Every structure is written in structure tokens, then in C-alpha cells.
Amino acid sequence: MGEEGQIMEYNTTELLACIASRELENGTSIFVGTGLPIIATMLAQRLHAPDLLIVFEAGGIGPKIPTIPISVGDSRTFYKAVMAASMDYAMGIAQAGLVDYGFLGAAQIDKYGNLNTTVIGDHDRPKVRLPGSGGANDVGSLCTRTITLMRHDKLRFVEKLDYLTTPGYLTGPGAREKAGLPAETGPYRVITQLGVMGFHEETKEMMLLNVHPGVTVDDVVENTSFKLIIPENVSTTSPPTSEELQLLREEIDPSGIVIGK
């Protein structure tokens, strides 16, 4: 551990957790999935967003997560919670407009933020079978804004998904509404080990917002198979602080289950 204020070494997972946690605002609600999203949420809850209302699909609502849960349904997800409810309740409040953010992960993403977590290759004869939608399609359909955390490379940032599990902006502006999905919903941020992406207000295409320290715009472009919108000004994210890192390592994930990877 470094001295107070000194810049500490950190790994990619720690960086992602810190950057993602900073996107979360106090007083908002967020639907959280397994792994890195939980770490980021726990960090936000311990720093700038103590009143972050966390919603887990199995029914844990408003917990103070004590230590990293292995499952989004295990007992940690309703520790000191305001409610131990049900999936019907959690999904129902998301559909009713009460969940502001949703955290997602994916094996593939396209320029409209559509996600694949089902198969690599053909659906019926898959090269790799992944878990499927789980709650992802519901989060992507029903939460007001979604944030996707994933690794950034050409095999993952693809022109065409092998399978569209979870809706982003589908085929572009107006497509979500036309399909029947709730109005004013959709992808908000994509956070990777290279930078932070958003979506162009009019075209709904993915747009680079920030790069992480030591990463260039070219690095991001080279690792993206589709044409990413590059604005004139791309700022650099601030690296994890020693406070963030210490919380991650000593309190949130002391066994290194997620951040040790």
C-alpha cells in the first residue's frame, strides 16, 4: 500500500471499478449484476453515494452490502436492506420507471450498444455457449440508463453481434420506441480498460468520451471493429485514488475474488 496521496499501482479491474463507481450519483437507484458492477456499486456507496438505492433482481432492495456477494441472490444482497422482496417486485419497479441505472456486462457489443451474452458462433451449434440473458434483457429494456462494463478489443467491439441478447439502441434513432420498449431509456455509458464511451445524441452511435491514463485515442480506435465517433476533445480520466484502492482491497474485496483477476 502506498503513502497517503501517492499514486498507487492498480490493475485494470480496479481501474474499471473506480471509473464506474464515479458515474453513480447519490440519491439514484441502480440495478446491479454479478461481479465488477457490485464492486463499483459498493465503492460508490462507501464514498460519494451513501444513499444509492441498490436493486438486485432476486429481490434485495436498498442493502448496505457488507462484503462481495457471490450471487446477486445471496444473503449479502439484502443485508441491512430496506426490503427483501422478490423478482416480481424488482423487475416490476424497473418496468414502472423507478430504476434509474442498470449495470451490464457483455461478451460482444455493437455501435448502438446492443449486447450479446448468449452465444459466440451459431445459436444452435455454438462455438461458445454463454449463460444467456439472465436479467440482462430486462435491465436493458426497463432501466432508464444502462452502463456496460466490459473488456475492449476487436473481437468484443464488433460490427455485427453473433446474437442480440439485450437491446441497446437496436438499429438506431427511434428503434427502441418503435419496437415497443419504454420511452427515454437506453445505453448511457460503456466503460472499458481503455476508456469511457457514450452515445451520440442524434445518431445514437457510440462515441468516445475519455481515455484512461496512458491510453491514446488510436489505441481505442485500433481495438474497435466498428467506426467509433471521435469528438475533437477527448479528456483523460483520473487514475484511481489511494482512498478508492484501499477501500477496494481492504474492505470490499479483501480476498481479491474480483479485483485479483
Catalytic choice (3, 9, 25, 57): 57
Taking CB under 8 A as the rule, which mask of x and - marks residues 151-170 in contact with another protein?
A: ------------xxxxx--x
Number of residues that bind another protein (CB under 8 A): 63
73 binds another protein (CB under 8 A): yes
Give the orientation angle of helix 12-22 with respect to helix 36-46, to 10 degrees: 50
Q: Which of 99, 77, 81 is nearest to 90 (CA)?
A: 99
35 binding another protein? (CB under 8 A):
yes
The neighbouring-strand residues paired with 9 are none
Cβ nearer to another protein, comparing 167 with 195: 167
**Closest of 237, 188, 186, 234 to residue 209, by C-alpha:** 234
- Residue 137 grid coordinates: 434483457
Q: What is the DSSP string of 181-232?
A: PPTT-EEEEEE-SSEEEEE-TTT--EEEEEE-TT--HHHHHHT-SS--B--S
Tell the smallest beta-carbon distance from residue 84 to another protein (Å).
Answer: 5
Interface segment toward another protein; rule CB under 8 A; list 134-142, 190-198, 202-210, 220-228: 134-142
Which listed residue (54, 106, 130, 150) binds another protein by CB under 8 A? 130
Enumerate binding residues for another protein (CB under 8 A): 34-35, 57-60, 66-75, 77-78, 84-88, 91, 95, 114, 118, 123, 125-138, 141-142, 163-167, 170, 175-176, 179-182, 254-258, 260-261
